[in-house]
Structure 1
Amino acid sequence: MTAGGIAGLPPFAEWGPIGQSFGAGLVSWSGTALGASLVFFTARVHQGFLDVVLGFAGGVMLAASFWSLLHPAIELSADYGPWRWLPASAGILLGIVFLHVTDQVLPRLQLAAPAKEAKGLSSHWRRTTLLILAIALHNIPEGLALGVVFGAIGDGASPVSLAAAVGLMAGIAFHNLPEGMAVALPLRREGLSPLRSFLYGQLSAAVEPLAAVAGAAAALTARAVLPYAMGFAASAMLYVVVREVIPETQLSGHPVAATLGIMLGFTLMMALSVSLG
């Protein structure tokens, strides 16, 4: 490493919004890979620990949805006067519709549930495929959120600083740690080799760099729709946390510890967003 970043490469601040978004997506992907790499050391983690970590990650996402996306979207809508809440609200509603339709069309699986309990359209897919799809669906809105934030910074329109955007990237990467574990460890316990369990576990986040680039491209294409895009990305993140992450932490007998994890994650991400923003 050099003072400007990796030797031979320009500093991150000079990568441009598309490059920054892709790099941020790779970092968030690496969080999933790091969590999945636990299968090389053990096949089982105490469920209480996993619930706390997953709750902490959900709290991080809740705080990031507001301070890194919704609040900036409202600030960008100052020209709407007393209706400045409208673009973000419209984006939230569009996100709700998108995720609800996705839920109905694609088979979806709670992390601890057998494949026969997959929700959505009926499917004969193997549990491995359903697990990867369930986490991948979580990661698409996260990648979009990263891309929208970095794209807005590149456009010069966003009140979010580059430091705050990097904080969002770090928060999402940490959020991905338990997701990597949640995919890879059950596969390891079901008899897959450590290497295959790891490969399947990290594969669930492979969509993030591509989603981040798509989000950045959308933000750069039309500045007028940026508040709507930020509201959409925040809505998708909120939907995932409320629909999937929080219920998952409450099912295994550790609801108080998981709730404390959520509150701690929310508080930490709030502090980072405000101090860096």
Structure 2
Amino acid sequence: MIDLFKEMNPVMQAFIGTLFTWGMTALGASLVFFVKGANQKFLDSMMAFAGGVMIAASYWSLLAPAIEMSAEGPVPNWVPAVVGFLLGGVMLLWIDRLLPQMDTDKYLGDIKDNKAKNRTALLVFSMTLHNIPEGLAVGVAFGALASSGTESTLAGAVALALGIGIQNFPEGTAVSMPLHRDGMGKKKSFMFGQFSGMVEPVSAVIGAVAVIFIEPILPYALSFAAGAMIFVVAKEIIPGSHEKGNVNLASISLMLGFAIMMTLDVALG
């Protein structure tokens, strides 16, 4: 099996690698099926946990790699991170203002509260957006094999896909649980949760095919996704987890989510 994988085209290797990362996202999202009769405190804590996961992922999965990739670039290494980060926040601000004018009932009709509906839409969008540059990164790593093709480069690409896949487990949970908390059914919450990882195989193939063109803009794309996620956490996730008065529990849960995601990112980085 391993020898067969080594002999595959780098594009196919990238696709298979991100099928794993998508599967881990779906596995994390599936935890929503095991929540039975959860009370408001538990649901608020899970929403705050999601915020902690997103904050940690924004730095260790997105901003730190973006800064590292920019070290040999034509501009100071902090420039792509700052530019992409701020643009991501501006993009989400624009989308937040646009959402009330959009008909979201087709997909989010089972969430009755309009504020929760907007929060749900922003959460799903930002987490999906965050997975696009991760998929591109895997695609670029495998696509580079076409020019180098060394054993060590293949091992690095596989390790990257493995690391992102394991990190995607809590991220899938971070989408499905808050959606269920806001009134969405378990099946639909799972579908949206796993959908956030579905973009990775597509973007990985694009990255592997267009490795020469994608690599220079990757730091900006990673930072853009980080800015979008931080905007959602600051505007929707933290205030939402405090709505019912469970402030201390939500704060502890956010720190726990941050600590777990930080541990995964650093240990697998």
**Which residue of structure 1 lines up, in the alignment, with residue 21 of structure 2?**
24
Q: Is the 1:219–1:226 contact (alpha carbons within 8 Å) kept by the matching residues of 2?
A: no
Separation (CA, whole Å) in 2 of partners of 1:205 and 1:179: 5
Q: Which amino acid aligns with 1:121?
A: Q
1:179 to 1:66, Cα distance in 2 relative to 1, 3 A: closer
Q: Is the 1:148–1:229 contact (alpha carbons within 8 Å) kept by the matching residues of 2?
A: no
1:261 to 1:66, Cα distance in 2 relative to 1, 3 A: same
In the TM superposition, 1:154-173 aligns within 5 A as 154-156=142-144, 162-163=158-159, 166-173=162-169
Q: Output one character per residue of 1:214-260: Cα deviation in whole Å (capped at 9) or x when no partner.
A: 44345442211111111122222222222222222121211112111
1:248 to 1:185, Cα distance in 2 relative to 1, 3 A: closer
Report SS of the residue matched to 1:252. coil
Q: What is the deviation of 1:28? A: 0.8
1:267 to 1:23, Cα distance in 2 relative to 1, 3 A: same
TM-score, scaled relative to structure 1? 0.72
Q: What is the deviation of 1:85? A: 0.7
Separation (CA, whole Å) in 2 of partners of 1:58 and 1:185: 14
**Which residue of structure 2 lines up, in the alignment, with residue 229 of structure 1?**
221
Q: What is the deviation of 1:101? A: 2.1
Of 89, 95, 114, the match for 1:96: 89
Q: What is the deviation of 1:164? A: 5.8
1:72 to 1:275, Cα distance in 2 relative to 1, 3 A: same
Q: Which amino acid aligns with 1:238?
A: I
Separation (CA, whole Å) in 2 of partners of 1:152 and 1:122: 35
Unaligned runs of at least 5 residues, structure 2: 112-116, 146-152
Q: Which amino acid aligns with 1:23?
A: F
Instruction: Decide which structure has greater helix share.
Output: 2
TM-score, scaled relative to structure 2? 0.74
Report SS of the residue matched to 1:83. coil
1:231 to 1:243, Cα distance in 2 relative to 1, 3 A: same
**1:71 has 2:73 as partner:** no
1:22 to 1:240, Cα distance in 2 relative to 1, 3 A: farther
Of 253, 256, 272, the match for 2:245: 253
**1:121 has 2:128 as partner:** no
1:226 to 1:243, Cα distance in 2 relative to 1, 3 A: same
Q: Is the 1:24–1:169 contact (alpha carbons within 8 Å) kept by the matching residues of 2?
A: yes
**Which residue of structure 2 lines up, in the alignment, with residue 153 of structure 1?**
141
**Which residue of structure 1 lines up, in the alignment, with residue 132 of structure 2?**
144
1:213 to 1:79, Cα distance in 2 relative to 1, 3 A: same
**Which residue of structure 2 lines up, in the alignment, with residue 46 of structure 1?**
39
Q: Is the 2:18–2:135 contact (alpha carbons within 8 Å) kept by the matching residues of 1?
A: yes
Separation (CA, whole Å) in 2 of partners of 1:54 and 1:124: 21
Q: What is the deviation of 1:124? A: 7.9
Q: Is the 1:133–1:204 contact (alpha carbons within 8 Å) kept by the matching residues of 2?
A: no
Report SS of the residue matched to 1:204. helix
Unaligned runs of at least 5 residues, structure 1: 107-119, 189-196
1:60 to 1:122, Cα distance in 2 relative to 1, 3 A: closer
Of 234, 246, 259, the match for 1:267: 259
Q: Output one character per residue of 1:81-104: Cα deviation in whole Å (capped at 9) or x when no partner.
A: 771111122211221232222222
Q: Is the 2:26–2:169 contact (alpha carbons within 8 Å) kept by the matching residues of 1?
A: yes
Separation (CA, whole Å) in 2 of partners of 1:138 and 1:271: 22
**1:62 has 2:59 as partner:** no
Q: Output one character per residue of 1:142-194: Cα deviation in whole Å (capped at 9) or x when no partner.
A: 43243134234324599x87546534433332233254244346658xxxxxx
Of 165, 173, 178, the match for 1:177: 173
Separation (CA, whole Å) in 1 of partners of 2:179 and 2:226: 24
Report SS of the residue matched to 2:245. coil
Q: Is the 2:133–2:218 contact (alpha carbons within 8 Å) kept by the matching residues of 1?
A: no
1:199 to 1:81, Cα distance in 2 relative to 1, 3 A: same
Separation (CA, whole Å) in 1 of partners of 2:58 and 2:144: 20
Q: Is the 1:148–1:230 contact (alpha carbons within 8 Å) kept by the matching residues of 2?
A: no
